[in-house]
Homo-oligomer: A and B are copies of this chain.
Amino acid sequence: MTQLQTMPVTADSLFEQLELAIHEHRIAPGTKLGEDEIGEIYGVSRTTVRAALQSLSHERLVELKRNKGAFVAQPSIKEAREVFEARSLLEPRTAHSAALRMTDEHIENLQRHIDAEHDALHSGDNGRALYLSGKFHIEIAQIADQETIAAFIKQLISRSSLIIALYWQRRSALCESNAHHALMSAFADRDGDRAQELMKSHLVDLITSLDLRNIESSPSSLRDALTR
């Protein structure tokens, strides 16, 4: 099994492919990412793989253990709380700014994203739907024209994807995009205050849909605690 594509695979493109695979839950938290293994799959040398893995570790999607290798990150419960705490500091205020700067074109783009998310969900591609759902938040930050904050939010959403993979409790409705629709309404009205409040509620709903009790739950982390 070698060489999956004809275009030359650069360190950056490899980073993006791995990032997307993790974000779409095609690779599970805790999975070891061996340098030789990935190098053979994509037909590149370990040098290139290492650069990509290092980038992923900076985004906190991968944990590098010295002389041990790279593993898809497994955020702890404390880290999960911290990620949503950070999001609740950044995203509501950013939604406010975005609402005030929103153009008709922005709204159309966001609406298309919601539609695509809806399609993915109904075609059973939950990973894809989750990815698109996250991208919705990132685009809001970009509309707010705050690239610095947008970069933070982008990282936090990627990490949220790992958190959802680990702690999401099935009983809660899967990412019903009601919240996103409501946000769209506030954006259409250019109502900054309402957008801010809706985003705040949305994040509370999200964290509520997780099981963050310290019950030594998550099967993989227990197994991991014994072998590391």
Q: Which residues of A contact B (CB under 8 A)?
A: 47, 50-51, 54-55, 58, 79, 82-83, 85-86, 89-90, 93, 146-149, 152, 156
Contact = CB atoms under 8 A, between A and B. Distances in A.
A146 B85 contact: yes
How many of these chains are in the complex?
Answer: 2
Contact of A82 (B47, B82, B146): B146
16 contacts: A50-B51, A51-B54, A54-B54, A55-B58, A79-B147, A82-B149, A85-B146, A85-B148, A85-B149, A86-B90, A86-B149, A86-B152, A89-B89, A89-B90, A89-B93, A148-B156
A149 B159 CA distance: 13
Contacts of A86: 90, 146, 148-149, 152
Given A54-B54, A148-B156, 15 more contacts: A47-B47, A50-B51, A55-B58, A58-B58, A79-B148, A82-B148, A82-B149, A83-B148, A85-B148, A86-B90, A86-B148, A86-B152, A89-B90, A90-B90, A152-B152
